[in-house]
Amino acid sequence: MDGSLTYPQLFDYHGQHSADHRLFVYAEDDGTLKTINWSQASQAIRRSALFVRDRLGWQPGMVDAPVVAILSASDSIPYATTFMGAMRAGYTPFPISTRNSPAAVAYLLEKTNAQHVLVGLDQAMQDLARDAFEILKSQSQFATVPGTSPMPVFSDLYGADIADVAVEDVPYEQRGLEERTFLLHSSGSTAFPKQIPFTYRSILQFARAAFYGELDLTDRVISLHSVPMFHAMGILMTLCTAAYGMVAAVPAPKTPPAVPTNDSVIEGAKATNANLLLTVPAMVEAWSRNPEYVKWIATRDAVIYGGGPLNKERGDYMVHHGVEIINIYGSTECGPLNVFLTGKRLLDTLIHAESNKNSLSANPGIDWEHFRFASYLNVKLEPHGNDQYEVVLVPNEFVRPNLLNTKVDGVDAYATSDLVAPHPTKKGFYKIVGRTDDQIMHSTGEKTNPGPLELMMNQDPHVQASVMFGRGRLQAGILVEPKPEFSFDPSDDAKVAEFRNKIWPTVLKMNAFAPQHSRLFKEMILIAKPSKPFFYTAKHTVRRGAVVKEYEDEIDAIYDSVEASSQSAVPPPASWDIPSTTEFVRRVAAQVMGRTVPDDGDLFQHGCDSLQATYIRNTLLRAVRETQKIDTRHVRESFIYDNPTIAQLSASIASVALGTDRSESASTSAAARIDAMRAMLTKYTANFPVHKADPSVKRPAGDVVLVTGTTGSLGCHLLAQLSENQEVARIYALNRPAKDQLPLRERQRSALIDRGLDASVLESEKVVLLEGDLAKAHFGVGEKVYEELRRSVTHIIHNAWRVDFVIQLTSFEPQVQGVRALVDFALSSPFPEPPSLVFESSMGTLQNAPNNEFILETSSKPEYAIGTGYAESKWVSEQILFTSSEKTALNPLIARLGQICAGPDGAWNAHEWFPSIVQSAPTLGCFPDDNRSVDWIQLDLATAALIDFRNASSPTHLVHLVHPRPRVPAHAGRRRLR
């Protein structure tokens, strides 16, 4: 267990050194007890290993262990043996829950790049696999569908006439402790399940947990009759037999396997004389209603439950009748977190002693819900209000979580999303009280975590309970049930406004706590009707889903109304002259954004988001309608984006109020846009530095590439291909900090995996991840790192850019400033020639070019780009580089990218516009009849071209990166429908 043997090697070790020790025990229907010892099991594991190698065409020296998925409801012994055999064969087994939908199975197979699936023999599994494969194929005609084989049954592995398989018959290839050994997946309760990798080190640290417990498990029999092997609890506990020496009591092998029932599990545990029973809360609650079962369980060491809460009343009943109840608390990501396992009556004794010390009467075991964290863990409790804390595990020399998603004091850690509350009197004891991640996914992709915010609202003296809503919407709202003494009919608008004002101080506290996208506005506070009281559970917690469904109509109505109006505590101006209007706009912006913005400051650069822009627009236009009694429906939806500063906004809304805004012509608007583009260009082409070489600094032997923006689709492919390029010695990947504060390494790893790329590139010494901002001094990475970059970078690929087709040019100024910063950086290089700079521009800079005009690969007219701030900012940046090539030693290359369509396997994000059209065509029976040609280019080809461009020397300094032979997509679409 010290890592000198990997886990698969333990199987062979026990076969030789613990040959007669029991691994499995089961009872036949006639009561005959059967045993499988480690000698028999290790032989069967090697048979399974040969079976897997034969099916997948194993070759010695495989770099990455291919994924072998298991989709089967097979009984425990052949399932566990096959799983361990795949590990022993050097593959990565991946048990998939049979309770997943075909779509979820397809998703997991695609994300893990599974090469083979072992499918159960029963029809349900055959159908599930077939449906999942159909979904994979429907996503793309080039989709890779894994191969399949029948799942081995008991007789295939343990038959009496099967030849022995010696250790040397299955050569074992040593793997590093940090390499992946198997995969599990999350429950997928709120979205598709997510894969969770286990390394050789992480399974060893998981298995060591019992060595810090208080119960000797050697030769103890643990009933796993109710736990399926495709579940983490089942397979991990079975694997732990190799560490603890305990014996797994399982159902007798049958084809098809028997479905466990409350009665069959107890009978199986009795027949195998199990010391411990591991199960789920629902089964414990069912047993508690049978006195005979309770009486027998009381003679056992303990009943262990996990995966959810156990009813307090039923748990108390069993404890009072002598049953030892143990909550095994942990997660797939980090293993057991509490003491594993407590000794017989030890927990009761400790609690009882503590109760006596505090002069409180308590029956032994009455606090069975509470637990202690294991002493070898570095657990941090992050306050979440109401004396509740989120459990965060910080890595130490004993345990490193399989997933890191937060930081504690600058150290990567895993936030479990579990909330615990301390025992009111017994220090060091806690119980689980909920989750932090009952998240609401908004239409923006942002998430609101309602739990802590609802807790704050529920502490308001006027509030009985509250439920947040907003799934699929732009913003969050909250439904509030007043206490009975404050209840009223919410059809009375005056009383609604009065109640909102009463609870507004609490809302302000919530908004101070909440992330920007989760903040509440007065208009989004919905009051519950006395005739429609909230639904509550037996524990008197609100049934969130039922309440939201009950108030569906009211929720829809409040979103409809907020589109048309907005309340504000700021009174409209008495006069719509510029000084009065400016003061009004200033105060509205400050109220909505929660900060003061300079009159000439861009609202979006100061953190204004789409939700806040909507509220500012609605508030301003409502004030105009109320005071001027005019129709404002002609005002563009992009009004705030068109006028992103308080000064511009004031002038524009004043013209709306005075009725003079319609006189502005389109040509004047176009001229103003071009003037703004030229003004920004002038600003960022002044005073270029002079390049001065320093002969004392030697150029690196290989290419050193600074690439920006590597967490998007194109950026991930750039990082992956650069890491494989033999000419590239080092890659600095510079990315902006994330809004959710997730560590860059975790974001990058997830981004690579999501796009089917090998995340192991992050382990390469070539790759250096940097978090910073080009618009800041020293790129925001610090002077020391900046100097390291300056003295080593030989090539720059500028990929990062804000993708937003609503905001105006001024809001893109930080991006334009970043281009100039890269120019200055390149010119500061000590090498004889400055680093080459490849800038990814867009064919959008030509969006207004005449259809019949032949566009050369050279500088274009500004009027071709006007229309979106995105294209205008790209044009300005192109011109900065053109100017720098004329006035300095820099040799930039601008690549105008067209539509990037798919990866090498033809896979294209199904949520983008064209794949959505293609997917809907078979159902609709039609395809858009558009005979225009398209010059889309594949993602991998575009990536390779950009990397090649780093060494290009073009007299025009510009290329159009599009397909050289355009095609008409409608032709292909019509052929597909025939």
DSSP 644: -
Instruction: Answer yes or no: is pLDDT of 346 > 50.
Output: no
Instruction: Answer yes or no: is pLDDT of 311 > 60.
Output: yes
Phi and psi, residue 645, nearest 5°: -110, 160
Rounded CA-CA distance 631/367 in Å is 66
Rounded CA-CA distance 298/287 in Å is 12
CB-CB contact of 873 with 810 (8 Å)? no
Instruction: Answer yes or no: is pLDDT of 349 > 50.
Output: no
Rounded CA-CA distance 756/750 in Å is 10
Helix or strand holding residue 204 (H, E): helix 200-207
Mapped onto helix, strand or coil, the DSSP state of residue 730 is strand
Helix or strand holding residue 817 (H, E): helix 813-827
DSSP 606: T
Whether the model clears a pTM of 0.75, i.e. scores above it, the answer is: no
pLDDT band of 348, cuts 50, 70, 90: very low
SS3 content of the chain, % helix, strand, coil (to 5): 40, 15, 45
What's the pLDDT at 605?
77
Strand partners of residue 392: 380, 415
Rounded CA-CA distance 546/883 in Å is 62
pLDDT band of 439, cuts 50, 70, 90: low
Phi and psi, residue 137, nearest 5°: -70, -30
pLDDT tens-place string over residues 56-92: 888 887 767 899 999 998 899 999 999 999 999 999 9
Q: Is the peptide bond before 341 cis (omega within 30 degrees of 0)?
A: yes
pLDDT band of 207, cuts 50, 70, 90: confident
Using alpha carbons, select from 384, 380, 382 the residue that is nearest to residue 395: 380
Strand order across the beta sheet in which 767-771 lies: 767-771, 728-735, 703-708, 795-798, 836-842, 892-897, 958-961
The tokens describing 667, both together, are 């040509």
Name the amino acid, one letter, at 786.
Y
What's the pLDDT at 464?
93
Name the amino acid, one letter, at 65.
A
Instruction: Answer yes or no: is pLDDT of 329 > 90.
Output: no
> Higher-confidence residue: 836 or 560?
836
The tokens describing 300, both together, are 């056992």
Instruction: Answer yes or no: is pLDDT of 362 > 60.
Output: no
Mean pLDDT of 519-539: 84
Instruction: Answer yes or no: is pLDDT of 129 > 60.
Output: yes
> Higher-confidence residue: 94 or 401?
94
CB-CB contact of 311 with 337 (8 Å)? no
What's the pLDDT at 667?
36
What's the pLDDT at 381?
94
Mean pLDDT of 171-198: 79
What's the pLDDT at 832?
94
pLDDT tens-place string over residues 669-689: 788 889 889 999 999 999 999
Rounded CA-CA distance 91/165 in Å is 18
Of 144-153, 320-329, 572-581, 664-673, the poorest mean pLDDT is in 664-673
Mean pLDDT of 543-549: 82
CB-CB contact of 287 with 297 (8 Å)? yes
Mapped onto helix, strand or coil, the DSSP state of residue 735 is strand
Residue for token digits 């009051």? 527
In percent, the amount of the chain with pLDDT more than 90 equals 47
CB-CB contact of 47 with 123 (8 Å)? no
What's the pLDDT at 975?
52
Of 28-37, 148-157, 364-373, 953-962, the poorest mean pLDDT is in 364-373
Phi and psi, residue 381, nearest 5°: -105, 110
What's the pLDDT at 341?
61
Helix or strand holding residue 110 (H, E): helix 102-112
pLDDT tens-place string over residues 396-437: 988 888 888 888 888 999 998 888 889 888 889 998 876 676
CB-CB contact of 252 with 27 (8 Å)? yes
Mean pLDDT of 302-320: 84
Q: Which domains does the chain have, with CATH numbers?
A: 7-279 (3.40.50.12780), 346-435 (2.30.38), 440-564 (3.30.300.30), 578-664 (1.10.1200.10), 703-906+936-961 (3.40.50.720)
- CB-CB neighbours of 675 under 10 Å: 11
Phi and psi, residue 694, nearest 5°: -120, 105
